[in-house]
Structure 1
């Protein structure tokens, strides 16, 4: 069987805890966010055995601490989990509500890059609520103020449930005022335990991306991840360069996610914690029984659902005119939107976050060309 996965990843996602504190966002996909399952140091050591070798050859190798809320693991435990890793870049994606002066000192000491999850100004942030059901905006902003006070730069990821072009400019201006380095925008997805994602209007979604690109062009002081993706793709096409992942020979980054118990899921972190009658828990194996490197190298042979996923990717390649940009629907979106199958094609997320994005930014470019 011809492999489509690279034998060495560019990063590893680590789940130090399943718990999310103090937030309980209404659109969250995580199944065990109310439970404090902690990753053991033994799991971290098992992962580091492979990662340290990869990082020695790749100075940009990244260990991403994701959750749950990774800071809910506590400073002492998170430090113990980080200790086995050498010469890697650590990053953390956090809701920022737990960040205080002590956490800022920790982040600086361990040279951790920070990403904050916040959805825009207060009236756009209503789905980020605490466990008590109260708005979480002020808690998040308090954490952001600590980051500013300690001179810690940070990026942001925002979830947009209803892409609205009339709100795009104010949405963007909020993040420029917040001082983020990079903004990533995720349209709410139907996956995991979140079954309430709305069917967004694809026309309005494209208009939202146009308006967001317009706002960025008027004040391009931060990197807007989605606009960058489209402009880089367009530049590659115009420069007659190969656009990944168009070639059938292109290798995908396996993007291994290591769950708190050492189970490893390839390609799709959002599948962690779920079980399926055909595929079990979706894991390729466990680092406590098998090192991470053999799990990555043998991923396709060890993971039956990946074959079905490749069938879906090939179907997208054959039928979707935007495949060269999109690369095929994400695994978790396929699974949760297509009744537990990975070989479906277009998803709602494709429509609003990939196809509409390409159309919207292309419209922006046409309207502003000299």
Structure 2
């Protein structure tokens, strides 16, 4: 595939499919079942990753479930043991974090990312299987992290974006104490079939208000706004092509059973039995991860279809320089194919994001 780097910037691993929550917008199949990654699968991944880590300044292994902590400390430690020279990250819903987990994070030098959507009323879609709100349990986890002086990032899912919500969230996360915030407008993908159509004014106003709040008081790193400004600066210098995301980074995701997908982690775990295509491009139990990633240079099947769509985006979309083409999973789960172009996700988190940042700049 033209433009794919030899070594990805990071890798995602699924230690278990199980999650102790049942969030309304979750895209993951099999999250009610505890299917755990085996140590031989992790070791097979490490054979490639340990070599990659010697050839780059920094390589991140991101443990992302299900709920990674549901695998337990002993099993997670055994999965991490084969890796050397990497930086470990965990993306967790926070409900299981306690003093013992904080000790584990410190002992293994793990970077922690939380999934939290704001104050209790804004986190109402995060519930357990009995429908009970998860907010108080998440906040106990936050308190434990803060008590142990462990820094944390946050991924926030926004289902109903408005300018008022942007200001509310910025104040909340500023007080929470996270060092970094990423905001995902809810996506229709995987098993989540909720409608993700939003009005232009609401979404654009959300991003504009969030940008204005950050500019006025930059208390933490704000992923979407900082990426937009990075791109705009490159565009002014005539270097926009050098900062395209994803087009150059296949972002391998290894499911619990060793199957590997590229470009969109949200494609992991699906197969014909679940009413979807099997998006896996190989399995580390049979083929080295490096070979699976390198095969994307000779695209076939859905990858070739996806790259056709990317080229259509390049030719027809004025925002291509910013996003590098609609994400593979959003194309498929919204429109049923990979060679289509603009998606609701494009509009909500690329087009309206960039326009909202520019609106904030004009109003400053």
**Distance in structure 1 (CA, Å) of the matches to 2:194 and 2:174:** 30
Alignment check: 8 A CA contact 1:276 1:282 kept: no
Q: How does 1:280-291 map to 2 (within 5 A)?
A: 280-291=277-288
Which of the numbers 306, 310, 314 marks the counterpart of 1:309? 306
Q: Per-residue displacement from partner, 1:80-116 (whole Å, max 9, x unpaired)?
A: 0000000100000000000000000000000000000
TM superposition shift of 1:141? 0.3
Q: Per-residue displacement from partner, 1:289-315 (whole Å, max 9, x unpaired)?
A: 111111111135475111000111111
Give the equivalent residue in structure 1 for 2:171: 173
**Distance in structure 2 (CA, Å) of the matches to 1:307 and 1:240:** 29
**SS at 1:185's partner residue?**
strand
Give the equivalent residue in structure 2 for 1:343: 339
Please state if 1:107 is matched with 2:136: no
Unaligned runs of 5+ in 2: none
TM superposition shift of 1:243? 3.0
**Distance in structure 2 (CA, Å) of the matches to 1:110 and 1:93:** 15
Alignment check: 8 A CA contact 1:59 1:87 kept: no
Which of the numbers 322, 325, 337 marks the counterpart of 1:328? 325
Alignment check: 8 A CA contact 1:6 1:251 kept: no
Aligned-residue RMSD, C-alpha? 1.7
Give the equivalent residue in structure 1 for 2:23: 25
Alignment check: 8 A CA contact 1:300 1:307 kept: no
TM superposition shift of 1:280? 4.1
Alignment check: 8 A CA contact 2:244 2:323 kept: no
Unaligned runs of 5+ in 1: none
**Distance in structure 1 (CA, Å) of the matches to 2:185 and 2:293:** 29
Give the equivalent residue in structure 1 for 2:12: 13
**SS at 1:243's partner residue?**
helix
Alignment check: 8 A CA contact 2:123 2:135 kept: yes
Alignment check: 8 A CA contact 1:254 1:266 kept: yes
TM-score between both structures, scaled by the size of structure 2: 0.96
In structure 2, the CA distance between the partners of 1:347 and 1:262, relative to structure 1 (3 Å rule), is same
Please state if 1:157 is matched with 2:150: no
**Distance in structure 1 (CA, Å) of the matches to 2:338 and 2:321:** 19
Equivalent residues, number: 363
Give the equivalent residue in structure 2 for 1:200: 198
TM superposition shift of 1:239? 2.0
Q: How does 1:190-269 map to 2 (within 5 A)?
A: 190-244=188-242, 252-269=248-265
**SS at 1:186's partner residue?**
strand
Q: Per-residue displacement from partner, 1:29-63 (whole Å, max 9, x unpaired)?
A: 00110000000000000000000000011131000
TM superposition shift of 1:360? 0.3
**SS at 2:27's partner residue?**
coil
**Distance in structure 2 (CA, Å) of the matches to 1:279 and 1:298:** 22
**SS at 1:357's partner residue?**
helix
Q: How does 1:342-361 map to 2 (within 5 A)?
A: 342-361=338-357
**Distance in structure 2 (CA, Å) of the matches to 1:332 and 1:133:** 28
Give the equivalent residue in structure 1 for 2:52: 54
Please state if 1:75 is matched with 2:85: no
**Distance in structure 2 (CA, Å) of the matches to 1:254 and 1:4:** 10
**SS at 2:241's partner residue?**
coil
Alignment check: 8 A CA contact 1:282 1:303 kept: no
TM superposition shift of 1:167? 1.8
